Structure formats: structure tokens, C-alpha cells
Chain A
Amino acid sequence: MAATRKYGPRVLALVTGAGLLLSGCGGAKVGESQAASDGKGGCGTVNLAINPWVGYEANAAVIAYVAEKNLGCTVVKKDLKEEVAWQGFGTGEVDAIVENWGHDDLKKKYMDEQKTAVSGGVTGNKGVIGWFVPPWMAEKYPDITDWKNLNKYADLFKTSESGGKGQLLDGDPSFVTNDEALVKNLDLNFKVVYAGSEAALITAFRQAEKTKTPLLGYFYDPQWFMSEVKLVKVNLPEYTEGCDADAEKIACDYPVYDLDKIVSKKFAGSGSPAYQLIKNFTWTNDDQNLVAKYISEDKMSPEDAAAKWVNDNPGKVKAWLPSS
């Protein structure tokens, strides 16, 4: 991908802020007005990308709360899809992404090629991706959680969309799926149907559980909906290192992701205490699900949800604070 780009001038310009090379000509510059954090001891402004799912919001809310209350930072939250958020590292508008699911392609581009982003360590959350059925099905057909039995039940999953086969509802467009290849390579009598959004997936599962209709779909955990309806995972052939190397020939389950944090290189080098906080931040799936539940089910604002959790867990928070 466009390996011939010249990064030198831009990085220099960004780092020096004034952009010696270019501002001499009098041009307005990207990043001039968005100095990330002043980096002179005080905390200054932290720009957090907010990716559009509640679990992310939970991470960000807690970090923002601690950064403002304990470190005196000004936190600016920006609602952005992942791809746009990563772009923001380069333009200086985003300092940190606080829950990242894989995205090896973006890592390659922004960490290895552009060198505008660096890793901020893991969040402690384990991301599980896979095929799920509503709990009533797992109860009624206990052997359905083994992929080998899926063909037996294929007829149950027929819909108007699946053209005579069983339907595998795929679909938040943000996630890379191997499902078409999996169906083919595992010889399943299913057709992948794209639901197209997380809302569509959740609604489908909610209705399936409520009306006891069969549904097989792609889902993931941690996700706030799991605390409303505990979906049951269908086990695909176990993931082994490298079994997903060739996308065409994949025949194994998704790996468990260690969700991580990404920060902009400039932010990492700024010496901001907020950077230390973000780097140190880790918690468990249960922690996140709790805060997510406050937000999604109890309809608390993210700020209130974060405050509640932080007050209940002073020990965990203390461990994140910069050691100075």
C-alpha cells in the first residue's frame, strides 16, 4: 500500500508544531490549532476517540473520569468510527483509542508505515468472536453448540433471505468475518446473510429469544446485550496459531482477541500523565460489562456510570495512576 509516501516532512512538521519547512511559506497547517497536549508537566487536553459501541464507551468514560478528577486533564471525546479515529492519529486530532479489536491492517498502516500510532498496552478484556444461538435453542437442542451438528438443524434456520439453505446472520460491518469461507470449507448447508448493523443483530437475537424462533448469528463478547440475553456460542474447530493465515482456506474458529489501546506517537512522547493513565489502564470483562450495563440498561450517563464504578473500585483505580 503506497509504500513510497514521504513521512519525513510531515512528522517533523507535526512534532515541531510550527512546521519549519512549511509555515515559512505562510500556509495554514493541519495540527496547528489542535495541539494535543502541552506536555510540560501539566495534563492539558486529551482527545479520546469514542468508537460506537457501549463497551468502548465504558472504557472511555472511566478513563476520562479519572483523568479529569485525579489528574486535572481536559478530556475531549470525539465520536468516531474506528477507521476515522485511526486517521486522527496522523492529523493530531486523536490521542488515544481505548478499546481496539485486532485491526491488523490499521496497525500495519499507522504503526508500521506512517508511524503515527503506537501501542498503549492491553485493556485486560478478552474479545471473543464467533457464532451464537439464543439460549432457548441451546436448551432445546443441546448438541447444537457443536458445529458438526449444524447441518442437521439447517432446516430450522431457513428464512426468506437464505434461498432454501439455513441462514447464518452475519454482520456488524465493522468486523472482518471469515464466515463465507467457513461455511464453504466446513461444508455447511448455510448461507451468509448480512444483517448490516449491530442494531440489526441485537434486534434479531432479542426477537429470536422472545418468540422462540431459531437463529444462528455472528456475535461477540464483551457486549452489553450479553447481560440481557446470554447467547450461547457454537464451537467451531478450535483456533490454532496460523490456521487463519489463508483467508480462502480458513476452517477454524476465531482467535480470542486481547483487546488493546492505541495512542498517537506524539501523545506517547508528550510526557502527559494522561498517557501514563491510559497505558496503565486494565480491567476485566466483568468490570466493563458492569459499567456497560449502567449505561445501556440503567440509562445512566457515561459520566455517572464511570463515577459510580470508580467510587466502588478505588483500589483498581489507584493502580492506574502515574507513579510520580
Chain B
Amino acid sequence: MTVPTVAREERPAPATDGDRPTVLDVRGLWKVFGQRAGRVVGTSLATLDRAELKRTTGCVAAVRDVSFSVRRGEVFVVMGLSGSGKSTLVRCLNRLIEPTAGQVLLDGEDVLGYAGKRLRELRRHRFGMVFQHFGLLPHRRVLDNVAFGLEIRGVKKADRMARAQEVLELVGLAGFEGSYPDQLSGGMQQRVGLARALAVDPEVLFFDEPFSALDPLIRREMQNEVIRLHHEVGKTMIFITHDLSEALKLGDRILIMRDGALVQMGTPDEVVGAPADDYVRDFVSDVPRSDVLTLRWIMRDATPDDPLDGPELGADTVIRDAVRTVLSAQRPVKVVRDGDLLGVVTAVEVLEVIAGAGGQS
């Protein structure tokens, strides 16, 4: 498994805490399936693990007390194996599935209180979603499919067609307006799905394993497409996947779920560099660490013996990109941030990572 880094450089610099406002704030979210599910949350039952809960109450807790917040313009990835509750989680956010307990604050307002028209308005204007199985309307042309969201919003025909055309060009489907979905390949169909979600110009885009059904080459192409679009339109995106490499490639931050609960949340290098438990560690064990970790994770403090006249590299430089510099330098490489010296890196540390030994914090 390799982690392609083709487009990483093109992306906006990772957001740091505080410099962007929070768009979506999820607090203590629960989803319990089963009869009288409401009695589970807030009682001692909530502490039982999944199997135990199923045995005693017949209920299944798909999402257990998950909290996180997403900042404007961020790509937030929720990752987990199938059955981990990630798809349920994202459906709780736009209420395709009704959460059992918790809060989903959009710009500070709890959307769980919305009903009827307000909920529809929320979905029509502020959220967009892309699905694993596309969910296109086979009886409509591509252009009509893209315009569908605008149509149900009541946008005039000429306006919505113009907008749909614009978005189709954005996703690279110009020329296919008159085709029907089943005349397109899977990847192209998903571009239609993407265009449909973008057409309504939502504030937040949800992706539910959008590329799982595509073959690997197309999948990579579509991932790059998402990165490009994110670059161009700068939407806040919540992206569900079971594919770690996809998560690492796309995510500004990654939330890892297991059995409905949050296991770890952090930037890709945090997840790889500091797995929260054995589950995550096992998960990331195959990842070529030099492709994800930055120098910050392998630098050591400078000792008085170190000559400090070597080259300088930023602390956020990915190891792989630093290899050539470090190995060709005769002296330790200085790791700096904002001009401050944080530590040094030598061939020893780099080679340890590449050889797969050590490197953890």
C-alpha cells in the first residue's frame, strides 16, 4: 500500500487550531437501533459493549457517544471498517437517520431540533451528499440529474440548467449532458453524483464511501479530482471511507471509529505516528511511515556535539521529501519552525524509519 502524494503540495496548508471557525460541532452523538432504543443512552446500559448490549436489550449501538468538530474548509475523514458505524454517523448529521441522542450544531444551531420544512431547507441549501452507489435517476439525462437538487428547490428551469452545465464542466463531464446514467462508466456516474451535490452550492459536503465501488485506477483519479475541487471551491467536506490510504491522502484530520465509538482523532501524521491503541496501531502498521510522518516525529534534540551549520528543513516536511537532503548532508539537518530550532535529524533517524524500525514517539 502506497500513499501517493501527488497532489499534497497543491492543497491549502493544513488548518491549524483557531485560525478557522468551526462549522459543524457534534456533541455526544448516539444512534441505537432497536425497540425502545431511547432507554439505553444515559443509563448504565450505555457502558456495556456492543455484544453485551445486543444480548441484554436486543438493541444495537451503531454510534456511541461521538463528539468532534469540523472547521470551515477542512476535509474531515471518518474512517473505520464496515460495521464500525461510520455510515450511520454521517447519516445522522443530515438526519437521513435520526440520532438517538446528542447534538449536531451547524454554526452553533442544533439541527436535531429541525423538522419538516426547516429540515428540508437545511438539506436543500446547506448540505450536499455523495453516495457510494451514486443514487442517480436512471430516467433522467445527466444534465437533469445534476439539476435535480435545484429543481426540487424550485429554481427556474433556465437558471438551473445553466448552473448544472457550469458544474458539469467543473467535474469534467462537458459533452455528456444528454447522456443517461447507464450509458456512463462508474467513475463518470460518480462525477454526476458529485456534480449534483455541488450544484446546490452547499456549505458542507458529505461523502459516503464514494469511491469504494470504483476500480483502483478510477478511484485514484477521483481522489485527485476531489482534492482539485477542494482546492477550487474550498468546501467543508466530511468524507467517509474504509480505506486508510484514502483517508491519509485526503484528510486534514481523521477520525477513526470502531464498534460505533471514536478511537482516535488527529492529523494523518498523528494517527500514524502516535496510534491511540493497538487497534489503530495494527491498522497503520502497513503504512510506509516515511510517506506520512514529518521530521517533527523523528528529530532529536540537538546535543552540544552537533555541528549546527547543516541545511535547514521545516518541521512539517514529510520524511520522504527530506531523505535526499539528510543523506547528502555531511552534518545533522536542522529542523526549524518559524526560525526556531526544534531539533536535528541525521541519516540514522531517517534510515531507521525507512527500514521500518523505531520512529515512534
Consider the complex of A and B and state whether they touch directly, i.e. have CB atoms less than 8 Å apart. no
